[in-house]
Chain A
């Protein structure tokens, strides 16, 4: 709609990840590299998926099952990628520990490992936000806006920004939960992540309900996810409080 609105949409999608980046990640160069490489990995997975699905596009929007198939295949592929990421991370951890021994420094602490997982998840989330929201935002800087048939109550950019925000959070914390689950062999956690991912994708798609219902469902899911994350890892109290309060505000705003 205007430059201000465009910047606003961009900040909705990427605001929390930016603050997370500045507060946690920018202090340790290794985490910056982790973010970049996981973003790249996610992009590659997206390109592979688009290569596979290119022949079938554009999909007819009347039937729902092609979309379901699309979501299931994409989520499955990305979850497989997460397992691969975990395996690479294990090797990296061994290398890092050996290096630490040689240099005479302590091995990786638990918080270090969680920070690496957080950085990896943040990379995925930022990639999602960038490619699904920011790159489509160019028209939003102009004088008009755009609506989609599925949800005529809000401009399309706002929808994609809010959904991108939700997915950033999901991706970021899923990685932490998943790595924790893999490390401890906790199968509940291990299966929780792909299920949440799938459900989130489906919930977005099943736009039978009104837009607002949809969004509030999404955010309740987020709240559950967040509580589980809080149980598992120990964020600093300030970060946890800020994110939680802010999530609550959004939930209430969306479900009036």
Chain B
């Protein structure tokens, strides 16, 4: 066809990172929706929830008045957020005292618990299979040398299971909890005293990884990278503190929820961009070079390859700066999204699925839009940002609008065969 002879236009590769984050989020949400719609019983009777941390203050029954439900849900969420804050502070303390081993072991344990106990089926072969599955999952999460696809798949599965567990909570509690978590996330990441911000700054100053369950999108490989299929480009923040060499700091936190115990929670949902630290195949290369921003704002630096000769890294001018206003995609480098974001997005969509599919579509679009907005803000502000607030707020708003306004309208129009 004629297209084969044309040089590749920018449309071919633009926006690839965003799509690489949106895809696993969508898959997770889709699986939760399927699970919920297959396994859902009538929710008014299934509010015999197991006593969990989230319903400790108030167990909703179908017969309470709306106001009671709302107050009860508020109480529940406050307790939940308080527990989350306390545990996050403990996490910060442990990280500060360099007890990273302990944290890793704890992470592995919680992943193991989630993967193992969520299927209440008692059959010997199944148990063996499950056990294997869980162990591989723990290893995948633990050891970063595994094939990235396996790790990604396991993270999505963990997110899905935990999200499904959350959808078993009573309705009002779930919604108020989502909003409370969004607000908490906003506070924890942006306030100077917030635990997540402390965690992030500690990690940057020490140039370490935070031990956390984080989904990392595969780094974008350039088309003509031929032999190499790892990270080719890197992105370095040319902030004032990155003077000589800086891998840009890995700023990632997460929310780990140990399903059944429900009692310990490390939470924090941070969206960040990091330079591709994981692929250390670029052996001889430096971690990144920084050129002081010339005249422009702090703009990301990109090392890219020329199309004709296979140079590895170049000192580049701030060529992608234009993207900051227009598209905000920035360049490459892996985008990391905490697992808590996956979980709470899927909880929202799962809850919407318990009402009707129209709300599912509306909430899905709202969440993806919020994620896009957050990514753009990320490219603009270039520091760790909370990924929950925008999406959750948009999701809740669209849910309410759809449920109250849209559904009646569409049903009425369709019944009378009025379509446009």
On A, residues with C-beta under 8 Å from B are 27-33, 36-37, 39-40, 43, 46-47, 49-51, 53-54, 57-59, 61, 67, 70-71, 74-75, 78, 92, 95-96, 98-100, 102-103, 105-109, 111-112, 115-116, 128, 130-132, 134-138, 148, 150-151, 156, 159-160, 163-164, 167, 197, 200-201, 204-205, 207, 236
A33-B357 in contact (CB<8A): no
CB contact between A99 and one of B19, B322, B358, B414 (< 8 Å): that residue: B322
B410-A131 in contact (CB<8A): yes
A33-B405 in contact (CB<8A): no
Knowing A47-B401, A47-B402, A70-B418, the reply to whether A29 touches B7 (Cβ < 8 A) is: no
- Give the residue name and chain of the A residue nearest to B368 (CB): A36
How far does the Cβ of B308 sit from chain A's closest Cβ, in whole Å?
11
A57-B408 in contact (CB<8A): yes
B15-A40 in contact (CB<8A): no
CB contact between A53 and one of B3, B362, B368, B409 (< 8 Å): that residue: B409
Within 8 A of A (CB), among B1-45: 1, 3, 6-16, 18-19, 22
Q: Give the interface SS of chain A, mostly helix, strand, loop or mixed.
A: helix
How far does the Cβ of A58 sit from chain B's closest Cβ, in whole Å?
6
B285 at the interface (CB under 8 A from A): no
B229 at the interface (CB under 8 A from A): no
Query: Which A residues lie within 8 Å of B19 (CB)?
Result: 29, 32-33
A205-B13 in contact (CB<8A): no
8 contacts between A and B (CB under 8 A): A39-B365, A43-B365, A46-B410, A50-B410, A54-B405, A54-B408, A95-B327, A100-B9
Query: Which A residues lie within 8 Å of B406 (CB)?
Result: 46-47, 50, 131
B356-A138 in contact (CB<8A): yes
Query: Which B residues lie within 8 Å of A51 (CB)?
Result: 401, 405
A29-B369 in contact (CB<8A): no
Query: Which A residues lie within 8 Å of B128 (CB)?
Result: none
Alpha-carbon distance A31/B11, docked complex (angstroms): 8
Query: Which A residues lie within 8 Å of B357 (CB)?
Result: 134-135, 137-138
Query: Which A residues lie within 8 Å of B13 (CB)?
Result: 29
Alpha-carbon distance A174/B10, docked complex (angstroms): 25
Query: Which B residues lie within 8 Å of A137 (CB)?
Result: 357
A201-B418 in contact (CB<8A): yes
A-B contact count (CB 8 A): 167
Within 8 A of A (CB), among B403-420: 405-406, 408-420
B418-A135 in contact (CB<8A): no
Alpha-carbon distance A150/B417, docked complex (angstroms): 8
A105-B8 in contact (CB<8A): yes
- Give the residue name and chain of the A residue nearest to B397 (CB): A47
B393 at the interface (CB under 8 A from A): no
Instruction: Give the 5 A-B residue pairs with the shortest CB-CB distance, closest first.
Output: A50-B409, A95-B326, A135-B358, A29-B19, A29-B15
B18-A29 in contact (CB<8A): yes
Alpha-carbon distance A96/B402, docked complex (angstroms): 34
B416-A61 in contact (CB<8A): yes
Within 8 A of A (CB), among B349-380: 356-358, 361-362, 365-366, 368-369, 372
Q: Give the interface SS of chain B, mostly helix, strand, loop or mixed.
A: helix
Knowing A74-B420, A132-B410, A136-B414, the reply to whether A36 touches B365 (Cβ < 8 A) is: yes
A47-B405 in contact (CB<8A): yes
A57-B409 in contact (CB<8A): yes
Alpha-carbon distance A98/B417, docked complex (angstroms): 46
Query: Which A residues lie within 8 Å of B280 (CB)?
Result: none
Query: Which A residues lie within 8 Å of B412 (CB)?
Result: 57-59
Query: Which B residues lie within 8 Å of A205 (CB)?
Result: 416-418
How far does the Cβ of B74 sit from chain A's closest Cβ, in whole Å?
27
Alpha-carbon distance A201/B319, docked complex (angstroms): 48
Query: Which B residues lie within 8 Å of A99 (CB)?
Result: 10, 322-323, 326-327
Alpha-carbon distance A134/B410, docked complex (angstroms): 12
How far does the Cβ of A89 sit from chain B's closest Cβ, in whole Å?
13
Alpha-carbon distance A78/B419, docked complex (angstroms): 13
CB contact between A132 and one of B1, B22, B366, B414 (< 8 Å): that residue: B414
Knowing A54-B405, A54-B408, the reply to whether A30 touches B369 (Cβ < 8 A) is: no
A92-B326 in contact (CB<8A): yes
CB contact between A54 and one of B1, B369, B409, B413 (< 8 Å): that residue: B409
The proximity string for B residues 123-165 relative to A, scoring 1 for CB distances below 8 Å and 0 otherwise, is 0000000000000000000000000000000000000000000
CB contact between A204 and one of B10, B356, B369, B418 (< 8 Å): that residue: B418
Alpha-carbon distance A63/B107, docked complex (angstroms): 65
How far does the Cβ of B376 sit from chain A's closest Cβ, in whole Å?
11
A78-B420 in contact (CB<8A): yes
Alpha-carbon distance A115/B10, docked complex (angstroms): 13
How far does the Cβ of B217 sit from chain A's closest Cβ, in whole Å?
12
Query: Which A residues lie within 8 Å of B320 (CB)?
Result: 102-103
B362-A108 in contact (CB<8A): no
CB contact between A30 and one of B11, B398, B417, B420 (< 8 Å): that residue: B11
How far does the Cβ of A196 sit from chain B's closest Cβ, in whole Å?
12
Query: Which A residues lie within 8 Å of B419 (CB)?
Result: 128, 132, 160, 163-164, 167, 201, 204
Alpha-carbon distance A148/B416, docked complex (angstroms): 8
Alpha-carbon distance A28/B8, docked complex (angstroms): 11
